[in-house]
Chain A
Amino acid sequence: MAARDVHGPGPPWKQGFRVIGKALRKEDGIAKATGRAIYADDILLPGMLHAKILRSPHAHARIVSIDTQRAEALEGVHAVITGVDMPIKYGVIPWTPDENALAVDKVRFIGDEVAAVAALDEDTANEALKRIAVEYEPLYAFLDPREALERPEPQIHAEIRAKKVEGNISKHVQLDFGDVDAAMAEADVVVEGDYFFHGTTHTPIEPHCAVAQHSADGVLTLWSSTQITHYVQRALAQVLELPESRIRVIQPCLGGAFGGKSDPFALEFVVAKLAMITGRPVKCLWTREEVFYAHRGRHPMNMRYKTGAKKNGRLTGVDAKILIDGGAYSSFGLVTTYYAGQLLTGPYDFPSYRFDSTRVFTNKPPCGPKRGHGSVQPRFAFEVQLDQVAERLGLDPIEIRRINFQGEETKTVNDLRITSNGFLECLDLVEEASGWRERHGKLPRGRGLGVAGSMYISGTNYPVYPNDMPQAGIQLKLDRSGLVTVFTGGNDIGQGSNSVVRSIVAEELGLDPHDVRVVAADTDLCPVDLGAYSSRVTFMVGNATIDACRKVRALIVDAVAEEWQVDPQRVYMGLGEVSDLEDLGKRMTTREAFHLAETKHDTLGATGSYNTPKLGGGYRGGTIGASPAYSFTAHVVEASVSEETGRITVENCWIAHDCGRALNPMLVAGQIEGSAYMGIAEALLEHHELNRFGLHAGPSLLDYRIPTATDTPELHALIVESLDPEGPYGAKEAGEGPLHPSVPAISNAVHDAVGIRLTHLPFTPGSVLSALRAARKPGARSTPSPTSTDMAAAAARVASEKA
Chain B
Amino acid sequence: MRVLRLRVNGDRLTVAAPEHWTLLEVLRYELGLIGSKQGCDKGDCGACTVLADGKPILSCLTLAATSEQREITTIEGLMPAWRARGGEGADPVQEAFDRCGALQCGFCQPGMMLSARALLNENPEPARAEIRAALDGNLCRCTGYTQIVQAVELCIAESVGAEPAPPAWAPGRNPWKGTARAGRWDEAGEDA
Contacts and interface: CB of A to CB of B under 8 A. Distances in A.
Counting contact residues on chain B (CB < 8 A from A), the size range is 35 or more
Interface in A273-290: 285, 287-288
B84 to A, nearest CB: 15
B188 A700 contact: no
B143 A670 contact: yes
Interface in B133-190: 133, 135-149, 167-170, 175-176, 179, 182-183, 185-186, 188-189
A670 B101 contact: yes
B138 to A, nearest CB: 8
Contacts of A23: 101, 170, 175-176, 179, 188-189, 192
B144 A35 contact: no
Contact of A512 (B32, B107, B137, B186): B186
A21 B90 CA distance: 26
A26 B136 contact: no
A575 B185 CA distance: 10
B167 to A, nearest CB: 6
Contact of B104 (A674, A700, A718): A674
Interface stretch (A204-212, A413-421, A688-696): A204-212
Counting contact residues on chain A (CB < 8 A from B), the size range is 35 or more
A716 interface: yes
B185 A24 contact: yes
B65 interface: no
A445 interface: no
A255 B136 contact: no
A658 interface: no
Interface in B94-128: 94-95, 97-101, 103-110, 113
A670 B170 contact: no
Interface in A713-759: 714-719
B108 A33 contact: no
A710 B132 contact: yes
B99 A25 contact: yes
Contacts of A708: 135-137, 139
Contacts of A28: 103, 106
Contacts of B107: 39, 204-206, 255-256, 494
A665 interface: yes
B104 A513 contact: no
Nearest to A255: B107
Contacts of B188: 22-25
B105 A254 contact: yes
Interface string A653-674: 0100000000001111110111
Contacts of A42: 28, 34
A560 interface: no
A24 B184 CA distance: 9
B68 interface: no
A737 to B, nearest CB: 15
Pick from A37, A38, A514, A670 the residue with the most CB of B within 10 Å: A670
A300 interface: no
Contacts of A702: 44
A496 interface: yes
Given A494-B104, A665-B175, A673 B144 contact: yes
Contact of B105 (A41, A255, A287): A255
B133 A33 contact: no
B147 to A, nearest CB: 6
A97 B78 CA distance: 49
Given A205-B107, A712-B144, A25 B40 contact: no
B92 to A, nearest CB: 11
Interface in A22-72: 22-26, 28-30, 32-39, 41-42, 44
A74 interface: no
B132 A709 contact: yes
B169 A205 contact: no
A677 B139 CA distance: 12
Interface in B15-52: 28-29, 32-42, 44-45, 47
A495 interface: yes
Given A39-B37, A669-B147, A670-B101, A24 B189 contact: yes
Contacts of B146: 669, 673, 677, 712, 714-715, 717
Interface in A194-224: 202-207
Contacts of A493: 105
A666 B166 CA distance: 12
Contacts of A514: 183, 185
Pick from A30, A32, A255, A670 the residue with the most CB of B within 10 Å: A32
A706 interface: yes
A674 B34 contact: no
B142 A674 contact: yes
Contacts of B179: 23, 25
Contact of B133 (A205, A433, A674, A710): A710
A206 to B, nearest CB: 4
Given A30-B98, A702-B44, A22 B144 contact: no
B75 interface: yes
Given A32-B109, A665-B170, A709-B136, A700 B141 contact: no
A36 B80 CA distance: 13
Contacts of A25: 98-99, 101, 179, 182, 185, 188
Contact of B169 (A29, A38, A206, A668): A668
A701 B38 contact: no
Nearest to B104: A494
B98 A33 contact: yes
Contacts of A670: 101, 104, 142-143, 147
A33 B40 contact: no
B74 interface: yes
List 9 A-B pairs, minimum CB-CB distance, nearest first: A35-B35, A494-B105, A677-B144, A255-B107, A32-B106, A23-B189, A35-B75, A29-B98, A716-B168
17 contacts: A26-B101, A30-B95, A34-B94, A35-B36, A36-B76, A204-B141, A207-B38, A207-B39, A207-B40, A254-B105, A255-B105, A255-B108, A288-B40, A513-B185, A672-B169, A676-B144, A717-B168
Interface of B: 28-29, 32-42, 44-45, 47, 74-76, 78-79, 90, 94-95, 97-101, 103-110, 113, 131-133, 135-149, 167-170, 175-176, 179, 182-183, 185-186, 188-189, 192
Given A287-B41, A710-B136, 6 more contacts: A21-B192, A33-B97, A33-B113, A202-B141, A674-B141, A678-B141
